[in-house]
Amino acid sequence: MLDQRLQQKLLQKLSPQQIQLIKLLEIPTMELEQRIKKEMEENPALEEGEAEEEIDNNDDDISDDDENLDEDFEEEVEEPKKDEEFSLEDYIDDDDDETPYYNLNVNNYSKDDDRKEFIYSTGSTFHESLTSQIGLRFLTPQQTKLAEYLIGNLDEDGYLRREISSIVDDLAFLQNETTTEKELLEILEIIQQLDPPGVAARSLQECLLLQITRKDNRNPAIRHAISILSEQFDEFTKKHFDKIIKKLSITESELKTAVDEIIHLSPRPGNSFSDPQNKNIHQITPDFVLDNSDGKLYVSLNSRNAPELRVSQAYTNMIQNFQANKNKKDKREKEAITFARQKVDSAKWFIDALEQRQNTLLITMNAIVGYQQDFFREGDETMMKPMILKDIADITGLDISTISRVANSKYVQTQFGIFSLKFFFSESMQNDAGEEVSTREIKKILQDEIEKENKHNPLTDEELAEVLLQRGYPIARRTIAKYREQLNIPVGRLRKEL
| Domains, the chain, with CATH or none | 126-263 (no CATH), 288-423 (no CATH), 426-495 (1.10.10.60)
Closest by Cα among 215, 214, 211, 213 to 201: 211
Given a cut of 50, is residue 202 above it in pLDDT? yes
Tell me which of 74-88, 216-230, 462-476 is least confident: 74-88
Phi and psi torsions of 157, nearest 5°: -80, -10
Per-residue DSSP letters for 421-473? Answer: GGGG-B-EEE-TTS-EEEHHHHHHHHHHHHHTS-TTSPPPHHHHHHHHHHTT-
Residue 413 neighbours by CB under 8 Å, 6+ apart: 286, 288, 289, 290, 302
Residue 51 has pLDDT above 90, yes or no: no
Give the pLDDT confidence of 134-182 residue by residue, as tens digits: 989 899 999 999 999 999 999 988 999 999 999 999 999 988 888 999 9
Q: Answer yes or no: are the C-beta atoms of 29 and 302 closer than 8 Å.
A: yes
| Diameter of the chain measured on Cα atoms | 111
Report how far apart the first and last C-alpha atoms of the chain are (Å, whole number).
87
Give pairs for 475-481: CB < 8 Å, separation 24+.
475/429, 475/442, 480/446
Does position 54 have pLDDT exceeding 50, yes or no? no
Cis geometry, peptide bond prior to residue 197 (ω within 30 degrees of 0) = no
Residue 381: per-residue pLDDT: 81
pLDDT above 70 covers what percent of the chain? 80
Residue type, 218: R
Q: Measuring CA to CA, which residue among 285, 281, 282, 290 is closest to residue 424?
A: 290
Cα angle for residues 126, 130, 135 (degrees, 5° grid): 145
Residue 278 pLDDT > 50, yes or no? no
Query: Which pLDDT value is given to residue 275?
Result: 47
Section 79-102 average pLDDT: 44
Closest by Cα among 350, 347, 351 to 312: 347
Q: Quick check: 327 pLDDT over 70?
A: no
If you average pLDDT over residues 48-69, what whole number do you get? 48
Contact call for residues 410 and 421 (beta carbons, < 8 A): yes
> What does each C-alpha distance from 369 to 91, 360, 365, 389 come to in angstroms?
68, 14, 6, 14
pLDDT over 70 at 295, yes or no: yes
Q: How many CA atoms lie within 13 A of 322 on its CB side?
A: 19
> Predicted confidence band at 76 (pLDDT cuts at 50, 70, 90)?
very low
Q: Is the pLDDT of residue 63 over 60?
A: no
Minimum mean pLDDT among 97-106, 116-125, 311-320: which range? 97-106
Cα–Cα distance, 269 to 271 (Å, whole number): 5
Give me the helix-helix angle, 16-26 and 400-407, nearest 10°. 40
Average pLDDT over residues 245-261: 91
pLDDT for 75: 44
